Amino acid sequence: MVVLSGMSTLEQMQDNISYMRDFGGLTGAQRRILAEARAELDRIPIIPCTTCNYCSKVCPGNIGISGSFTAMNYYTLYGDKAAAAAQETWLVGSHGKKSAGECIKCGKCEQVCPQHIAIRAELEKVSAALLQ
Ligand code: SF4
Ligand code: SF4
């Protein structure tokens, strides 16, 4: 038997489905606005880390990769170095991880990153921006 979350009866399912009856999708103008917003967001050089932490499972140096990237993204977005450095301290050192500058550049992390991030190069940028 298939159990649909949030639906216990046939009437509830029909009620839920009814909200899609007049669904027309996005208009051309709405699609253009979304594309423009997307283009603006793409101009911000955020590291596209999803904090999946697959990299941390293979890193022999116990580097706080995702925490470093979260802190760096904060710095990129808000330009507040002190706050970003405090984030780095909390997300990396306070969680038992080593800082970006201690990466030995073995490259194992990059082989498993689903976002294909140039992790070694990005860690160098974190080190230069937040740890000097
Ligand atoms: S390159 Fe650096 S961060 Fe990546 S797995 Fe090796 S030591 Fe860890
Ligand atoms: S594997 Fe890639 S996306 Fe996942 S936490 Fe590491 S750097 Fe971020």
Nearest listed ligand to the Cα of residue 121: 1
Q: Identify whether 25 is part of a domain.
A: no
- Residue 20's pLDDT is 87
Ligand 2, atom 8: nearest CA belongs to which residue?
A: 49
Cβ atoms within 10 Å, residue 83: 13
pTM of the shown model: 0.78
| CB of 108 sitting under 6 A from ligand 1 | yes
Domain that holds residue 126: 54-130
Q: Identify whether 13 is part of a domain.
A: no
Q: Is the pLDDT of residue 2 over 90?
A: no
- Residue 19's pLDDT is 86
Residue 63, SS3 per DSSP: strand
Q: Identify whether 1 is part of a domain.
A: no
**Are the CB atoms for 97 and 64 separated by under 8 Å?**
yes
Distance 115 CA to ligand 2 centre (A): 7
Q: Over the stretch 20-70, which tens digit does the pLDDT of each residue have? A: 888 888 999 999 999 999 999 989 999 999 999 999 999 999 999 999 999
**Are the CB atoms for 77 and 46 separated by under 8 Å?**
yes
- Residue 118's pLDDT is 98
Q: Over the stretch 106-131, which tens digit does the pLDDT of each residue have? A: 999 999 999 999 999 999 999 999 99
Q: List CB contacts of 46: < 8 A, sequence separation 6 or more.
A: 73, 76, 77
Q: Identify whether 11 is part of a domain.
A: no
Q: Identify whether 112 is part of a domain.
A: yes
Choice between 77 and 5, residue whose per-residue pLDDT is larger: 77
Distance 119 CA to ligand 2 centre (A): 8
Q: Identify whether 119 is part of a domain.
A: yes
**Count: domains in the chain:** 1
| Separation of alpha carbons 31 and 37, rounded Å | 10
Q: Identify whether 79 is part of a domain.
A: yes
- Average pLDDT in the chain: 93
Q: Identify whether 42 is part of a domain.
A: no
- 99 DSSP 8-state letter: P
